[in-house]
């Protein structure tokens, strides 16, 4: 499968690329293609030293969308609308959003758009045929990149497209020890996204790190 990561040079994008590039063709997208290519070369070298062959390349964000079967929007929420306004070609593609609309004062809090969640806003912004799936919302960005550590979180997956949801759940279950759980329709993405600021607050106020979810 070809997976394009828009905003792939950020922490989550880099972590996803490291975890998936031995199983799938990964296209790391960025507004700065040179930066994406540099990251791709470093990732390939890093995994090669571990005896893992990576299938990864750097690209512009638009090239990442054009070449991919699945597109991951690894974008900070405040840049989401401007980033999507520059891109085309999402028709009929599975689009995974781990985006969480969060603001911060003396604590983190959920700060959703009028639609109720980032995923529902993305549904409005992209072509009607785009197959939007909310997933990977509650995993620590730094945890992704620690390749010697297992990822043993539960990952809630929400979508109105059942086939797309199944595909993404299979992808989730192929990564380390992640366990995909069907969270229902895309409307439930507001609940999933709102858990992330709670996780961040728990980590902050209890002096913890890499807090995540596990359902039993």
pTM strictly above 0.85: yes
pLDDT above 90 as % of the chain: 90
Q: What is the pLDDT of residue 183?
A: 98
Residues contacting residue 50 through CB under 8 Å, at least 6 positions apart: 147
Q: What is the pLDDT of residue 10?
A: 87
- For residues 195 and 111, give the distance between their C-alpha atoms in angstroms, rounded to a whole number: 12
Banded pLDDT at 145 (limits 50, 70, 90): confident
State pLDDT tens for residues 161-215.
999 999 999 999 999 999 999 999 999 999 999 999 999 999 999 999 889 999 9
* Residue 125 burial class via C-beta count within 10 angstroms: exposed 0-12, middle 13-18, buried 19 and up: middle
Contact indicator for 89, 66 with CB cutoff of 8 Å: yes
Domains and CATH numbers, the chain: 2-205 (3.40.50.720)
- For residues 75 and 83, give the distance between their C-alpha atoms in angstroms, rounded to a whole number: 8
Q: Where are the alpha helices (H) located in the chain, listed in sequence order?
A: 11-20, 33-48, 61-67, 80-85, 118-125, 141-145, 162-173, 189-205
Looking only at Cα atoms, what is the longest distance across the chain?
A: 47
- For residues 92 and 82, give the distance between their C-alpha atoms in angstroms, rounded to a whole number: 21
* SS3 assignment, position 29: strand
b (16+ CB within 10 A) / e for 65-85:
bbbbebbbbbbebeebeebbe
How many CA atoms, within 13 angstroms, populate the side-chain half-sphere of residue 34?
0
State pLDDT tens for residues 59-99.
999 999 999 999 999 999 999 999 999 999 999 999 999 99
- For residues 98 and 178, give the distance between their C-alpha atoms in angstroms, rounded to a whole number: 15
């Amino acid at each position: 499968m070809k997976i394009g990561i828009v905003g792939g040079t950020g922490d989550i994008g880099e972590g996803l690329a490291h975890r998936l590039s031995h199983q799938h063709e990964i296209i790391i997208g960025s507004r700065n293609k040179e930066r994406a290519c540099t990251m791709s070369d470093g990732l390939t070298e890093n995994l090669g030293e571990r005896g893992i062959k990576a299938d990864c390349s750097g690209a512009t964000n638009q090239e990442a969308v054009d070449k991919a079967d699945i597109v991951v929007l690894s974008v900070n929420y405040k840049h989401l609308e401007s980033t999507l306004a520059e891109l085309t070609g999402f028709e009929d593609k599975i689009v995974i959003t781990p985006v969480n609309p969060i603001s911060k004062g003396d604590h983190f809090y959920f700060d959703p758009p009028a639609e109720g969640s980032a995923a529902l806003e993305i549904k409005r912004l992209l072509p009607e045929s785009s197959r939007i799936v909310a997933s990977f919302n509650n995993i620590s960005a730094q945890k992704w990149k620690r390749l010697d550590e297992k990822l043993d979180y539960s990952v809630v997956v929400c979508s109105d497209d059942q086939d797309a949801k199944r595909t993404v759940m299979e992808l989730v279950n192929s990564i380390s020890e992640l366990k995909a759980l069907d969270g229902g329709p895309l409307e439930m993405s507001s609940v999933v996204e709102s858990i992330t600021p709670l996780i961040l607050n728990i980590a902050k106020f209890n002096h913890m790190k890499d807090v995540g979810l596990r359902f039993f």
